Amino acid sequence: MPQPFKRGWLPTPDACILRPQLAAHIGTIASLWTHMELLLGKVTGEIMHVDAFIGMSIYAAIKSEVIRLSIIDNVAERYLNPDLCAEFKKLRERIRRTSDERDTVIHGLWGLPMAELGGNDFFATTDTMILADQRKIVMYVAAVTALVHKGKDFPGDKERIAAAEDQVIPALEYTERDFIAIEDRIKERTREVSEFGAKVAQFHAQQKALGGQTTPS
């Protein structure tokens, strides 16, 4: 699990270039999740059975993962039995948590620890990368910028800067082990989605064998 990093560090677009072994894991996480999204789409089609083409046409047009999961949730309630619906709701929550980890890695602001003063290198020679939420940094910079342009303190300015700074400082230090752990969780979610898809296919096959409906009434 990434640990808080409160020593000196600097965000840099060269972080991935200077840490290629770790950067490869960022690419792997992105690729694994793309395959996960593909599988979710296939499961959506499996849920909708004979209406799969219509369902996938809608699913493919949606970019937001939150909305995609909501779509699957809604169609599951219409096409599946209560037990499978309840199982998907639990799976959906695990997918959401893993998705948050993926988003943090892919969209975060990466940097490197700074070397100790007096050394020959600017960055420390560690096998780690530092991650911060760029949105929080933007809010911190905005608070400072507003104060500078006002030319004098206004009530609440210093408090806003202090609050923003508290959010910026707790950067996280990622080791290779941390990246691998995220990859493993994505693989686990992918396996679970695949197994759920198999259950859906079995459910529709049983319904058809019993002469039941495979589409909502």
Establish if 214 belongs to a structural domain: no
> Could you report the per-residue pLDDT of 112-162, keeping only the tens digit for each?
988 754 445 666 677 899 998 777 777 777 777 776 676 556 566 666 666
Q: Domain count of the chain?
A: 1
> What gap in Å lies between CA 140 and CA 164, rounded to an integer?
5
Establish if 215 belongs to a structural domain: no
Which pTM was predicted? 0.81
Buried b (16+ CB within 10 A) or exposed e, 34-70: eebeebbbbbbbbbbbebeeebeeebeeeeebeebbe
Higher pLDDT, 14 or 170: 14
Between 20-48 and 176-209, two packed helices, what is the crossing angle to 10 degrees? 10
Q: Which residues contact 42 (CB under 8 A, 6 or more apart)?
A: 197
| 27, 180 contact by CB (below 8 A) | no
Structural domain harbouring 18: 3-209
> What gap in Å lies between CA 33 and CA 158, rounded to an integer?
41
Strand partners, 112: 10
> Could you report the per-residue pLDDT of 72-112, keeping only the tens digit for each?
888 888 889 999 999 999 999 999 999 999 999 998 899 99
